[in-house]
Chains A and B, each alone.
Chain A
């Protein structure tokens, strides 16, 4: 982990992202080049060369822009960043645990409305974490690779510089004469020098500004004058074509994208086409294909004599053969062989590309899920909790911020105006725009499509003299954000609770305990909790011998705004505040749903995974009641059970009724209960009012009044608007008619006897 500490985590993520993306980008470019090259004839070396150079530039641009796009589009990638396996914290990197940092639920009871629109947290798409966790490693390896290669290249450059002088002498005047005559014919304006070298084995051009042609001494004696002229023409063609510039660019790309097979391939093709283009110029100038071909061969022969070192069988022999064939205009078997090679290369490239695309695609969809740039703001607590400010206060509608101990009016953050950020929050009907501006600026700006990094550019206005101050790199830190939180919530600074039961005080969520749960899901039938353990649902009796009702009662007595949610998701904190902190395992007493058998698990593990899963299921469960329900349905209705009638085995039990008024004679009511359906495969469960006065007809009917249920048991939550006089009931309906129901109500609105029955 210390390996990463020197490098900005975020930078590492950006580069990792770009590097992994460059894999498929490179393959795509190579495939396109392959297709285009197949259409360009071999003799058109210049055209092929241009295609390849453009392709290589495209690769570099794609790589660079992916990196830049990565910066702009941080939502995408930082959806990863915030939730991934690694999170930068100050200077060190620690495995991310959801439980550090205080967070969202820490709000006033009136904030309950948040529950309504809560989107599934990014947790839901965790599947690709392993790729993200590779980002920093990939980036570090890449940096090391570039550093090593850079040293290697600089050494090579030094070696080339020495090559100018190492055992060289100026060329004899006849050679210079030939060279300058050729240069004239080429209309070469660039000055150049020709040296005879006793060191190099092949003719070459070195140097960018002062190009030097080195002719091996052996060539001087071993080549016929016509051959020597052709070789000189080839080297001059390099200078004339400015090949040295392109070659440097090529080396840059090779260094930056050293890991990429597509780059290797394109680069070697560029070298070949470059030589062939120079071959063409040399032949044009010297007008003798055979002499030129024999010159190339003669050089190879001289080389073989000159040294005892063994030649490696590589591409060079094949390439030379191809070149000679091209010069002589014979398209023999090797051409086909090359084409076959190209074909299988393209096929292999496609396979690699599709794998890469599949990998990256899942990345991109992730990225999209995090990019809510246009949507309204909904706090999800899935971004790093950082702030550049140590406090935020409000002067009417306008914020004032504390930076380095002084107060300012914020003008912009990363060039996004503060007004715009606040307008965005208010325009989203955010329940606490001031708070989110102060404490969740990273998430807010990310959702606006402009996620700040570890530093931001701040423009601040002094309060007294309205002078503008610009801070180019204000650090975004957790400490600042905590200070801002404390500034806004001084009450939270209370001391930690002692761990004994007697001192239990009203519960108020502080998110300062471990986030563990023994359950993978929790659901409610009224106040009765059902929990999922090892994939099976049970009625919960007790945790560590504390009755489940006692825990819920404690939360309710504390006027907690979301007792059921905190029961399900913050059990450790709740029980700790009750003075009953659980450890890594708890004893669970459970009751099976069907046989009502009591099951005791002496050491159920408390894990983060369970707790996350409980959070997920709460967010996705269609029957889960929005937390705000408690606010709207303020009254617990003391309903009475009226007449019931069911087919054999069917049952509807209403366990709680809450409503906008204390009696069920006008208002909206939230009816919860349990059902058991055995007589039919499925049915519609509906809450309605049977009108007692015929002129009222049937009561109003809407979707929230009904739900479709399948054979089996389950819980229901139905909304019942009561606007006509009559008898409320919850009933099963089949295709045509009802086949059982339960009447409930208050006062004389309860149907006591079933229709037509005597008792």
Chain B
């Protein structure tokens, strides 16, 4: 399964365009996006580039202008979203069912600093 993070809401909007239209250029994506909300071309461009970096989109550099396609099928991404939703909703319950080295809850920066100080002191000895 994919190791990429689940897309954010804005990223999902772009993915939806691509899933319905098929491979598209940034301009084509932007034109459709603009129908729904007020968005600058540069914003769309930036988002598409980030998504390509994250592995959410694949780009075909052989043609000009570049054409982007979704890295994963719609169904698969939806499944991943559901998974993350489950984790978020039931993480509390799940955390008791796993054995982990670190504490179940994140510790505060102050506590972390205290612990680090302790280790430094020990290293100096």
A396 beta carbon closer than 8 Å to chain B: no
CB-CB under 8 A for A162 and B99, given A167-B5, A300-B106, A317-B111: no
Which residues 301-328 of A have a CB within 8 angstroms of B?
301, 303-304, 307, 309, 311-314, 316-321, 324-325, 328
Which residues 145-160 of A have a CB within 8 angstroms of B?
152-153, 155-160
Cβ of A311 and Cβ of B3 under 8 Å apart?
no
Within 8 Å by CB of A321, from B87, B92, B105, B115, lies B115
Q: Which residue of B lies closest to A156 (CB)?
A: B93
Cβ of B3 and Cβ of A198 under 8 Å apart?
yes
Within 8 Å by CB of B99, from A155, A167, A204, A325, lies A204
- Min CB distance A246 to B, Å, is 10
Q: Note all chain A residues with C-beta closer than 8 A to B10.
A: none
Cβ of A166 and Cβ of B98 under 8 Å apart?
no
A244-272 interface mask toward B, CB cutoff 8 Å, 1 = contact, 0 = none? Answer: 10010001001000000000000000000
Q: Which residue of B lies closest to A157 (CB)?
A: B97
CB-CB under 8 A for A296 and B102, given A156-B96, A324-B118: yes
A589 beta carbon closer than 8 Å to chain B: no
Q: Note all chain B residues with C-beta closer than 8 A to A314.
A: 105
A273 beta carbon closer than 8 Å to chain B: no
- Measured in the bound complex, the distance between the Cα atoms of B90 and A470 in whole Å is 49
- Measured in the bound complex, the distance between the Cα atoms of B116 and A325 in whole Å is 11
- Measured in the bound complex, the distance between the Cα atoms of B3 and A198 in whole Å is 6
Within 8 Å by CB of A168, from B1, B99, B115, lies B1
Q: Note all chain A residues with C-beta closer than 8 A to B5.
A: 167, 198
Interface on chain B toward A: helix, strand, loop, or mixed SS?
Answer: helix
A199 beta carbon closer than 8 Å to chain B: yes
Interface on chain A toward B: helix, strand, loop, or mixed SS?
Answer: helix
Cβ of B94 and Cβ of A311 under 8 Å apart?
no
- Measured in the bound complex, the distance between the Cα atoms of B74 and A299 in whole Å is 34
Within 8 Å by CB of B119, from A169, A206, A290, A312, lies A290
Which residues 611-638 of A have a CB within 8 angstroms of B?
none
Within 8 Å by CB of A162, from B86, B92, B106, B116, lies B86
B83 beta carbon closer than 8 Å to chain A: yes
- Measured in the bound complex, the distance between the Cα atoms of B93 and A319 in whole Å is 20
Cβ of A159 and Cβ of B103 under 8 Å apart?
no
B80 beta carbon closer than 8 Å to chain A: yes
Within 8 Å by CB of B118, from A152, A196, A234, A321, lies A321
- Measured in the bound complex, the distance between the Cα atoms of B119 and A319 in whole Å is 15
B63 beta carbon closer than 8 Å to chain A: no
- Measured in the bound complex, the distance between the Cα atoms of B96 and A204 in whole Å is 11
B123 beta carbon closer than 8 Å to chain A: yes
- Min CB distance B8 to A, Å, is 13
- Min CB distance B64 to A, Å, is 33
A243 beta carbon closer than 8 Å to chain B: yes
Cβ of A203 and Cβ of B101 under 8 Å apart?
yes
B100 beta carbon closer than 8 Å to chain A: yes
Which residues 130-179 of A have a CB within 8 angstroms of B?
152-153, 155-160, 162-163, 165-169
Within 8 Å by CB of A330, from B84, B96, B118, lies B118
Q: Which residue of A lies closest to B2 (CB)?
A: A167
Interface range on chain A (Cβ under 8 Å from partner): 35 or more
- Measured in the bound complex, the distance between the Cα atoms of B86 and A157 in whole Å is 10
A205 beta carbon closer than 8 Å to chain B: yes
B36 beta carbon closer than 8 Å to chain A: no
B104 beta carbon closer than 8 Å to chain A: yes
Q: Note all chain B residues with C-beta closer than 8 A to A167.
A: 1-5, 80
- Measured in the bound complex, the distance between the Cα atoms of B102 and A300 in whole Å is 7
B107 beta carbon closer than 8 Å to chain A: yes
CB-CB under 8 A for A235 and B99, given A313-B111, A317-B108, A321-B111: yes
A565 beta carbon closer than 8 Å to chain B: no
- Min CB distance B1 to A, Å, is 5
A297 beta carbon closer than 8 Å to chain B: yes
- Measured in the bound complex, the distance between the Cα atoms of B103 and A255 in whole Å is 21
- Measured in the bound complex, the distance between the Cα atoms of B104 and A201 in whole Å is 10
A406 beta carbon closer than 8 Å to chain B: no
B65 beta carbon closer than 8 Å to chain A: no
Cβ of B115 and Cβ of A297 under 8 Å apart?
yes
- Measured in the bound complex, the distance between the Cα atoms of B100 and A240 in whole Å is 14
Cβ of B94 and Cβ of A300 under 8 Å apart?
no
B114 beta carbon closer than 8 Å to chain A: yes
Q: Note all chain B residues with C-beta closer than 8 A to A542.
A: none
Q: Note all chain B residues with C-beta closer than 8 A to A301.
A: 112
Cβ of B101 and Cβ of A162 under 8 Å apart?
no
B89 beta carbon closer than 8 Å to chain A: yes
A190-230 interface mask toward B, CB cutoff 8 Å, 1 = contact, 0 = none? Answer: 00000010110111111000000000010000000000000
- Measured in the bound complex, the distance between the Cα atoms of B84 and A235 in whole Å is 24
Q: Note all chain A residues with C-beta closer than 8 A to B84.
A: 166, 199
- Measured in the bound complex, the distance between the Cα atoms of B90 and A554 in whole Å is 76
A293 beta carbon closer than 8 Å to chain B: yes
Q: Note all chain B residues with C-beta closer than 8 A to A251.
A: 96-97
Given A165-B1, A320-B111, 20 extra CB contacts under 8 A: A156-B96, A159-B86, A159-B89, A159-B93, A163-B94, A166-B1, A166-B87, A199-B87, A206-B97, A206-B99, A247-B97, A296-B101, A297-B116, A304-B109, A311-B106, A312-B105, A317-B103, A317-B108, A319-B103, A320-B103
Could you list 7 examples of A-B contacts with CB < 8 Å? A163-B98, A166-B1, A198-B4, A304-B106, A316-B106, A317-B111, A324-B119
- The 5 closest A-B CB pairs, nearest first, are A156-B93, A317-B111, A316-B103, A311-B106, A204-B100
